[in-house]
Amino acid sequence: MANMEPLGEQAVLVRLGTEIREETFYEVQALAARLEEQPFPGLWELIPAFTTLTAFYDPQVTSYEQACAYLEKALHSLTANSAPLHPRTVEIPVCYGGEYGPDLEAVADHTGLDIQEIITLHTSVEYLVYMIGFAPGFPYLGGMPEAIAAPRRTEPRLKIPAGSVGIAGQQTGVYPLETPGGWQIIGRTPLHLFRPEHERPSLLQAGNSVRFRAVSAEEFRECEAERR
């Protein structure tokens, strides 16, 4: 059951769950899609997250009570087991360890696994893009094997190269731009996840699936050269 609460004077936070689960994710995405198709008066922005959807509206057009009523109606109109909205699968080549993955050994020490086991597990599953956030094009991916979960670094880095693949807790993600960050960096991809010159700047969208593929340093450099 959804809970609603005001977020300031011009937004409603709709909470559809308390745990990160695929079922909740699809419900959030389905609600966002329904409101994009059938917006209520004054609605001007929707921000979906792991378990919530924030709806921003013009309070001079619609009151908080009216916004909640519109949202309740949209929720009741949803069908069960909503299908994924962006079922595209994207393969991401990754060079693990060495200069590209300086924290891979630390993750191995934490988990008790050897480096090859971590790479095998990280590339063995299909990940769901739950949302894009933190930095433009940064995908928060769910579905990582628990065996390779590792805490964030105690001291974040001031600069993490674009394309770095990291682990933080039970999540994995890819830094699309050079930014500060505290995730454990286990590898790097030559793909550009954020392309401001494109109509859709982010390579990935919420609802996409991702598979990682291990490549050698030579393959990494060849792919990187092709994309310059």
- For residue 198, what pLDDT is reported? 85
For the chain, list residues with pLDDT below 70. 1, 79-86, 228
Which candidate, 122, 93, 94, 92, places its Cα nearest to that of 107?
122
Which candidate, 63, 69, 4, 74, places its Cα nearest to that of 35?
74
219: buried, middle or exposed (CB in 10 Å: 19+, 13-18, 0-12)? middle
pTM for the model stands at: 0.80
- For residue 164, what pLDDT is reported? 97
* Domains located in the chain, CATH noted: 3-76 (3.30.1360.40), 89-226 (2.40.100.10)
